[in-house]
A and B are shown apart, each in its own frame.
Chain A
Amino acid sequence: MNVIGTRTLLKKEVRRFLRVPGQTVLQPLISTTLYFVVFGFTLGGRQGDVNGIPYVTYIVPGLVFLGVANNAFLNSSSSFFITKIQGTIVDLLVAPLGPTELLLGFVLGAMVRGLLVGLLTWVAALVFTGPHLVHVASTVLFLALSAWVFAVLGLVAGIWAEKFEQINFFPTFLMLPLTFLGGVFYSVHALPEPFRTISLVNPVVHMVEGLRAGMLGLDEGAPLGLALLGTLALAATAVAHRMLATGYRMKS
């Protein structure tokens, strides 16, 4: 294991997004905060409480999740893709960095950005709703797992994509519908059938509910969410590792 090499790659990934904080941190923070203001206050007035919790508070975990997932995904996908396009992938391939080192460097770097945006979103929300953090350990666990899963999926997308168009494919056609139909703004348990059952195959639902359980103390099925997330994390990691090990779309 090349520890210094992995740490260097991680450091590079973090420095890279911190060089353009307006684009990588501030802009996502503003857009999630806007969701919060619009959905929480304008619609929330009509919506009323959910499971005894004010609507504006109820949507905070989902929005934190959105910040974490989107930014973790965007960081690893765009960073790896750009590394291929500008040819600096060569610097990584000639170095003694195996698939594990590459995976950890890119994924941990993306997690830092995702968690940073998530944390800032949460802090922004605090101003409106006051602090809610019932189970610290399970909150941290769900956040870390969500960040890991989306960072790994982003890496897979970045490895796979060969054109700019393709790099936008996932956020638009996969991430956006999954997150908006994932119960970020509502409880899927309140949906009529068959939408309720259909929603339950969406992994995002379980991530959001797990986070809600951790932050608000609502029990909407955290153990199932955890199992699902764990499985997804393992499967995605195995795919990414395999791609890195074989040099898929990196080596000719």
Chain B
Amino acid sequence: MEPVLEVVGLSKNYAKQAALEAVNLSISPGEIFALLGPNGAGKTTLIGAVCGLVKKTSGSIRLLGIDLEVDPISPRRDVGLVPQEINFDPFFTVRESLELQLGYFGRPADPARIDELLEALALSTKADQPTRALSGGMKRRLLIAKALVHRPRLVFLDEPTAGVDVELRRDLWSYVRKLRAGGTTVVLTTHYLEEAEELADRVGIIDKGRLLLVEEKGALMKRLGERRLEVHFRAPVATLPPAAAAGSLSADGLTFVFVERAGAPACADVLGALYAASLPVADVNMTPAKLEDVLLRVLRSGNGSA
């Protein structure tokens, strides 16, 4: 299938520094793509260049199959953006803000759609309040509603859950999954790596304006994620079976620790070997791989091979 977004050799130089350096990225229809990286890495700049907020220095951007150099306007009909910075027009109510945004996108009035979004984002009771009366988290949710009101095929969420409390964050995640189920492509940046871990099909890691790697999340976790197996014994153990030799035994022989890297050998096989040798296993602890550790490892090594 044709990618919904294709970025080739995209660079952006500000007066003092380069914010993006020759970024290549292709987003497939229907996926959830998480763009990760430290503050100032260039995530917002990349999204801004695609959404018409940032003037690129060089490179090309094809949005929904259309080169933005040729037509910077019409592909925007089917794209939505939740900007990182909260904005609101204090002159208007929540409902009016959504009506206006729908109109800007050239769509006719659609009260049912607006009600549905207000409901989904827990803003129904605030519908007729002026936007300035909303709390920070509510304003963020209004931004999300504004970005989705015209049913975009591709939506960018730049830190969409910053300042949104935990409970609502979970609701939002399930809403994002629902969007994807309906065929919407989602590109998100986030500080909460748990969020990317929950949602993303693919992950991109960016640092200092350079995209270090793009990989399917499961494969990345398998390749760079470290799972930790910890086994406690009822009585001291002196020797390990050969299949568990990759692990290490504590001095008192009561604790065994094994870290699985790149899936081989697997924790399951190591644990199986301990049981097969009839060692006196009392308790087993597994710590799953964390995207956070993967991210740190990639950032430290400065490339995707880590």
Binding site for B on A (CB under 8 A): 2-5, 7-9, 11-12, 15-16, 19, 86-88, 90-98, 247, 251-252
> Which B residues are in CB contact (< 8 Å) with A5?
103-106
Measured CA separation A90–B84 after assembly (Å): 11
* Residues on B facing A (Cβ under 8 Å): 14, 48, 51-55, 72-74, 76-77, 79-81, 83, 85-92, 100-101, 103-108, 146
Which A residues are CB-close (under 8 A) to B103? Answer: 4-5, 7-9, 11
Pairwise interchain contact A95-B88, C-beta atoms closer than 8 A: no
7 closest residue pairs by CB, A with B: A8-B103, A87-B87, A95-B104, A96-B76, A2-B106, A96-B77, A98-B73
The answer on a CB contact under 8 Å between A94 and B108 is: no
Query: Are A19 and B91 in contact (CB-based, < 8 A)?
Result: yes
A94: contacting residue among B74, B79, B90, CB under 8 A = B79
Measured CA separation A95–B52 after assembly (Å) = 9
Whether the pair A92, B54 counts as a contact (CB closer than 8 A) is: no
A88 and B105: CB pair below 8 A?
no
**Given A5-B106, A19-B91, are A95 and B101 also a contact pair (CB < 8 Å)?**
yes
Determine which of A2, A87, A88, A252 lies in contact with B48 in the assembled complex, contact meaning CB atoms within 8 Å.
A252
Contact partners of A87 in chain B: CB under 8 A? 83, 85-87
Across the two chains, which residue of chain B brings its CB closest to A82? Answer: B89
Interface secondary structure of B, over-half rule: loop
Residues B106 and A94 in contact, CB atoms below 8 Å apart? no
Query: Are A94 and B14 within 8 A (Cβ)?
Result: no
Tell me if B89 and A96 are in contact (CB < 8 A): no
Please tell me if the beta carbons of A96 and B74 are within 8 angstroms of each other in the complex.
Answer: yes
By a CB distance below 8 angstroms, the chain A residues around B80 are 94
Chain A residue with Cβ nearest B72: A98
The closest CB in chain B to the CB of A18 belongs to B91
Say whether A93 contacts B52, CB under 8 Å.
yes
Q: Is A8 touching B91 in the complex (CB atoms < 8 A)?
A: no
The residue from B86, B91, B104, B107 contacting A16, defined by CB atoms under 8 A apart: B91
Which residues of the partner chain A approach B81 to less than 8 Å between Cβ atoms?
90, 94
Task: List residues of chain A with CB within 8 A of the CB of B87.
Answer: 86-88, 90-91
Contact call A8/B53, Cβ cutoff below 8 A: no
A35 to chain B, nearest CB (A): 29
Task: Give the CA-CA distance A86 to B87 in the complex, in Å.
Answer: 6
Closest Cβ neighbor of B156 among chain A residues: A94
- Chain B residues whose CB sits within 8 angstroms of the CB of A2 once the complex forms: 73, 104, 106
